[in-house]
Each structure stands twice: as C-alpha cells, then as structure tokens.
C-alpha cells in the first residue's frame, strides 16, 4: 500500500533548498542543494549521448568509487557545463568540493548536476557564493525552492512524494524532483531528477529498482526527440526510517510506489513541454516483443508530422501508420489496427483502421478527440505479446519561437 502526493513534506534525514546565485542573472533560483544527515547508498542512470557533460562524467565516476557513502547533490541551472573540456570537469569537481567542505565530508560524497546552455563555463565565483549562502531545511519549503533551482525553460516545478507501508507495519518515504521541458527524448532519462528515500536499501537494490522503474517512466517520454548531454537520474537511500526491504512483498511494494512517483514526474515533464498544448499517450501492442513495441511508439512520438497533426487537432492517422512503418520493426501492414480515445486510458475508443484499411468512422468524432488536451492513440500491429506505452506532446509555433530565441 502506498500514497502518492504531488508535494513533498519530510523524508527522514534529508534537507533541501534553492536560491538565486546569479548564474541566470534574473534573480530566480538557479542553485539547489539536497543533503542527507547520514551516508546514503546511491544509484544512477545517465545519458547515452556520446557527448556527455562534465557533471555526468564526474557522477559516473563517483558512483563507481563510492556508491555507499553519498551525502549530497548540488544542482545548478543556467549553465549545462557541457562541451567545456578539462576546465569544465575541474569546475564540476570544484563545485562538489565546495559542498563537501561545508558538510565536512569527502568530495566523493557529493554528486553534481547541471542544466542550461551548452558550451559555457560555470561562473565559479557565483557558485562559491551560492554554496556559502544556501541553507537546506527539512519540510515543504526547502523542497519547493530546490525544485525551482532545477528549472530552465520549465514553467512549473515538478516534485512528488510517496509513503509506503511495508509488510511489518513500518512506513518509508520517497520523494523526488524532476526538471525538463525541452531536449526530451527517451534514451535513458532525458532530463534531471533526484529521488530520495529514508528506506534502508542496499546498493544493488537501489540500482536494480532505479533501472526497472526508469525503463517505464523517464525512458518513456518525448517532447522533441533530442537526447540531452546532461541526462541524469539519481536515487539516494539513507536508511533513516530503519526499515529495510526484508521480503519480496516489501520490494514489490516499494517498487510500485517508486514507479508511480517516477511516472508522475516523467509525465509532468511532457505536460510542461515547450509550447505544448496536448498530452498524448501512445500505446502499441501486438509486437514481437516489448523492445519492438517501444521502437514503434517512439518513432510515432518523435515524428514531426505526427506532432504537428496533434497540434492542429488533425486526426490524420496516415501519418501514424507511416511512422510505424519506418520504425525498423518487421510486421505485416495488413495487420495494422488503430484507435483514438479521450484521456490516458483510451476512454470511448474510436477505431479508424482495421486489417490495414480505413473503417467507416465519423471524422467529426475523431477531430473532437484530438482537440482534447489529453488523448490516447493505440496501434496494434499483429498478434505478438510485445507492448509499450510512451507519452508525448504536440509541436507548435511556441516551441520553435522559444528555441530560436533561447540564447537571445
């Protein structure tokens, strides 16, 4: 049993804060710090982009050498510290060292994350002043300002928490922050997220659970099809509750709560997609396996023609079928079937295609569905057992305007 909240109260032993240290230069939070009062086991998943930002390289190294004694995560927005060479890596290390000195811990205990413009060096004087001034606190306010410190083109902070009751009656808490609105494509995480829990997890449990839930949450979202240089999701477990996952039932209960929390945070990114006006769920079934279904769903979700049709409230289903056909998955076009429905769960589905051919459907009804702020597209390609779900959004004028003027 678990309860999901769209806010964060307290997670035992963790504190958080955000502040404006002048990286963005507009007096909005651009630095965040999340701190545990005791050592944490850590897990992470990172971008598969070959061009990796300095903080990604650093965090991957820290996870290899010190997965059981993490104390903090420091995050800056306004500068991605990507494509910055050796100096960028030294600045990432220096940022972690500044936090470590303040916490009186080893620098290997501090993860560093950055987001913002690529190809710009971190303003280290401002980072140093921010680390000196920031004061993490327990409770809702600290998490709210920390979430704001993550934001770049995000319109709203994204945070959630869950409480899980284990089989022995003990309760553990999970909380998370995510950020992202653009440069979002499903190839690992496509954004930044920090998830913390007061459960007592082993390093193996943490990494296994994170990889499992990431594959059905953060790795199932698309805004524009671009995979960032900085994608990182971290999970920190400090054991402050004193409750371990002692049975398979406990592991399953924790996994369910973690997955619900990550799905919520992932969907929030799509809902906040740059210029987005539609939230679209794409379901594919009948594929040879789950990977094939995901490949087709991703191709539809990233198709510019599909996304502009969503924006124009145009049920131009031929675009969806064409995208499926170029996804690189072998199937018989005569098996294609397609439905549209309102909401995320295909409510009142309208079939548009059967056995590879159009059916006699009401075009006005189809248009009415794709005019909704949320709708589902379901594509069946055969009789296989593979299925996948991906969340995406439309692509309109505001996305182009925002990204054309991003550095202006």
Of the residues 252, 271, 290, which one is the last residue of a structural domain? 271
Each residue of 266-277: pLDDT tens digit? 999 999 888 889
Q: At what angle do helices 248-271 and 203-214 cross, to 10 degrees?
A: 40
* Positions marked catalytic: 190
Find the radius of gyration of the CA atoms of the chain: 22
Please tell me whether residues 400 and 257 are part of one structural domain.
no
158 and 68 within one domain: yes
What's 216's domain CATH number? 3.60.70.12
Copy the structure tokens of residue 14: 């963790």
Per-residue pLDDT, averaged over 180-207, amounts to 84
**Distance, CA of 392 to CA of 318 (rounded, Å):** 18
Considering the domain architecture, whether residues 119 and 218 belong to the same structural domain is answered as yes
Q: Give the 3-state secondary structure of residue 276.
A: coil
| CATH classification at residue 310 | 3.10.20.340
Per-residue pLDDT of 133-176, as tens digits, reads 999 998 888 999 999 999 988 899 999 999 999 998 999 999 99
Which residue segment(s) compose the domain that 198 sits in? 2-271
Together in a domain, 184 and 310: no
CB 131 within 8 A of CB 74: yes
In this structure, the answer to whether residues 380 and 287 fall within a common structural domain is yes
Token output for 377: 């597209």
Q: Are 65 and 102 in contact (CB under 8 A)?
A: no
Over residues 223-259, the pLDDT tens digits come to 878 778 899 999 999 999 999 999 999 999 999 999 9
* pLDDT at residue number 105: 97
CA atoms within 13 A on the CB side of 123: 16
pLDDT of residue 1: 62
Does residue 347 share a domain with residue 198? no
Strand partners, 15: 35
Work out the burial of residue 212: count CB atoms within 10 Å of its CB; fewer than 13 is exposed, 13-18 middle, 19 or more buried. Answer: middle
Q: How far is CA 221 from CA 49, 180, 321, in A?
A: 16, 11, 20
CA of residue 153 relative to chain centroid, distance: 15
Same domain, 399 and 263: no
Say what percent of the chain tops pLDDT 90.
81
User: Average model confidence (pLDDT) for the chain?
Assistant: 92
Question: Distance between the two ends of the chain, CA-based, in angstroms?
Answer: 49
pLDDT over 90 at 77, yes or no: yes
Quote the pLDDT of residue 333: 96
pLDDT bracket for residue 188 (50, 70, 90): low
What's the confidence (pLDDT) of residue 190? 55
What is the structure's pLDDT at 25? 84
Quick one: 263 and 288 in the same domain? no
* 3-state DSSP assignment of residue 316: coil
Which strands sit side by side in the sheet containing 347-354, from one edge to the other? 357-358, 347-354, 337-342, 374-380, 279-287, 386-393
Same domain, 163 and 14: yes
Could you tell me how far CA 161 lies from the centroid of its own chain? 15
Residues 378 and 243 in one domain: no
Reply yes or no on whether the pLDDT at 297 is more than 90.
yes
- Which helix (H) or strand (E) segment holds residue 59: the answer is helix 54-65
215-229, 326-340, 363-377: segment of lowest average pLDDT: 215-229
Instruction: Report pLDDT for 399.
Output: 75
CA–CA dist 277, 13 (Å, integer): 39
Are 84 and 132 in the same domain?
A: yes
**Threshold 0.85, pTM exceeds:** yes
CB 114 within 8 A of CB 80: yes
**Residue-wise DSSP of 73-136:** EEEEEEE---S-HHHHHHHHHHHHHHHHHHHTS-GGGEEEEEEEETT----HHHHHHHHHH---
113-122, 174-183, 391-400: which is most confident: 113-122
Rounded to whole angstroms, the Cα distance separating 373 from 370 reads: 8
pLDDT digits (tens, 9 = 90+) for 384-401: 999 999 999 998 887 777
Greatest mean pLDDT range, 189-203, 294-308, 338-352:
294-308
* Final residue before a domain boundary, out of 241, 271, 301: 271
Q: What are the structure tokens assigned to 17, written together? A: 């804060």
Number of domains in the chain: 2
Decide which of 212, 239, 271 is a domain's last residue.
271
Q: What's the rounded Cα separation, in Å, for the pair 308 and 276?
A: 11
With a cut of 90, say whether residue 374 has pLDDT above it: yes
Q: Do residues 267 and 283 share a domain? A: no
């Amino acid at each position: 049993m678990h309860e999901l909240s769209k806010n964060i109260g307290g997670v035992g032993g963790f504190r958080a804060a955000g502040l404006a240290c002048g990286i963005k230069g507009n007096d909005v939070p651009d630095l965040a710090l999340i701190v545990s009062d005791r050592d944490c086991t850590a897990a992470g998943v990172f971008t598969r982009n070959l061009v990796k930002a300095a903080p990604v390289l650093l965090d991957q190294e820290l996870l290899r050498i010190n997965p059981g004694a993490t104390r903090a995560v420091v995050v800056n927005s306004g500068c991605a510290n990507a494509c910055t060479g050796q100096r960028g890596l030294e600045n990432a290390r220096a940022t972690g060292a500044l936090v470590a000195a303040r916490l009186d811990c080893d620098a290997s205990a501090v993860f560093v994350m950055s987001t913002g413009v690529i190809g710009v060096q971190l303003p280290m004087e401002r980072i140093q002043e921010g680390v000196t001034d920031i004061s993490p606190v327990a409770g809702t306010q600290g998490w709210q300002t920390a979430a704001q410190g993550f934001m770049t083109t995000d319109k709203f902070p994204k945070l959630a928490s869950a409480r899980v009751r284990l089989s022995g009656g003990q309760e553990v808490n999970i909380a998370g922050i995510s950020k992202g609105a653009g440069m979002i494509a499903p190839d690992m995480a496509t954004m930044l997220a920090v998830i913390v829990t007061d459960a007592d997890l082993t390093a193996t449990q943490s990494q296994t659970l994170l990889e499992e839930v990431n594959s059905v949450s953060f790795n199932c979202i698309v805004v524009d099809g671009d995979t960032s240089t900085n994608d990182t999701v971290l999970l920190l477990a400090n054991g402050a509750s004193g409750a371990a996952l002692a049975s398979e039932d406990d592991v399953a209960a924790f996994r369910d709560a973690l997955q619900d929390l990550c799905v919520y945070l992932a969907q929030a990114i799509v809902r906040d997609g740059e210029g987005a006006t539609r939230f679209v769920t794409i379901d594919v079934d009948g594929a040879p396996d789950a990977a094939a279904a995901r490949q087709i769903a991703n191709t539809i979700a990233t198709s510019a023609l599909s996304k502009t049709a969503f924006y124009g409230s145009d049920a131009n289903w031929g675009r969806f079928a064409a995208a499926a056909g170029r996804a690189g998955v072998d199937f018989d076009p005569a098996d294609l079937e397609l439905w549209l429905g309102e909401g995320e769960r295909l409510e009142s589905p309208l079939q548009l295609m059967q056995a590879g051919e159009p059916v006699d459907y009401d075009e006005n009804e189809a248009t009415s569905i794709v005019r909704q702020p949320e709708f589902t597209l379901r594509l069946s390609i055969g009789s296989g057992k593979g299925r996948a779900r991906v969340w995406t959004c439309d692509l309109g004028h505001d996305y182009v305007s925002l990204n054309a003027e991003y550095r202006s």
